[in-house]
Amino acid sequence: MRGKFDAQLGQLGDMLVEMGTLIETAIALATQALREHNIDLAKKAIAYDQEVDRAEKDIEALCLRLLLQQQPVARDLRLISAALKMITDMERIGDQAADIAEITIMIADKPYIKKLEHIPQMATATVKMVTESIDAFVKKDLELARTVIEYDDVVDELFGKVRADLIALIHADIANGEQALDFLMIAKYFERIGDHAVNLAEWVVFSITGKHVKEG
């Protein structure tokens, strides 16, 4: 009986990895669409959100089966509870990637007021955080989870640079205001993705230690 349960826990890890791959792809597509003014890629990023939603429901169903059909010990309960919390944050990351893509569609036919620099760096940083959070869950790696939490400072610093650049552009020419606000919203979505990745890592810490505390 325990062998079957452990196999299902392994399946849970695999499904989380697959859901992570979906949101990483959605972020990558949204970012590429933004860089290339590419509406088709933006629409693909939006479509991925539906795949993410389906993955969330499938993982939720598996977690409920594990809780109802088995008799998990405390360690197992932490793992399953953490997974249920994590998929909520992962679903929101999918939503935010779609939101970035929707803004990209609105501004795709206009020349950009500035060269994209820090926003793609934010995208790279957030994908790294998401990937490593899920790796930490699967490998039960406490140090990796804590590294992800600390790495959020990198995303916050990049957001500050984007905001400062956009404020300067508005001061230089008020006509830059509308698109500057669009870019600021995109940067804010990336910052939120970073925050959700921190949440993922904090739930990994909980699954290992039994303590859910805000690190840092």
String of DSSP letters for 32-90: HHHHHT-HHHHHHHHHHHHHHHHHHHHHHHHHHHHHHHS---HHHHHHHHHHHHHHHHH
Instruction: For the beta carbon of residue 107, count every other beta carbon within 10 angstroms.
Output: 17
Q: With contact defined as beta carbons under 8 Å apart, do 200 and 86 qualify?
A: yes
Q: pLDDT tens, 80-121? A: 999 999 999 999 999 999 999 999 999 999 999 999 999 999
Q: With contact defined as beta carbons under 8 Å apart, do 130 and 97 qualify?
A: no
0.95 exceeded by the pTM?
no
| pLDDT band, residue 6 (cuts 50/70/90) | confident
The per-residue pLDDT for 207 is 93
The per-residue pLDDT for 211 is 87
Q: pLDDT tens, 164-183? A: 999 999 999 999 999 999 99
**What residues have CB less than 8 Å from 16, skipping those under 6 apart?**
59, 83, 86, 87, 90, 134, 137, 138
Q: Which residue has the tokens 């990637």?
A: 97
Closest by CA position to 31, among listed 169, 185, 158, 190: 190
With 70 as the cut, is the pLDDT of residue 215 above it? no
Q: pLDDT tens, 117-169? A: 999 999 999 999 999 999 999 999 999 999 999 999 999 999 999 999 999 99
The mean pLDDT of 191-201, rounded to a whole number, is: 97
The per-residue pLDDT for 69 is 78
Domains in the chain with CATH codes:
2-209 (1.20.58.220)
**What residues have CB less than 8 Å from 136, skipping those under 6 apart?**
142, 144, 145, 148, 201, 204
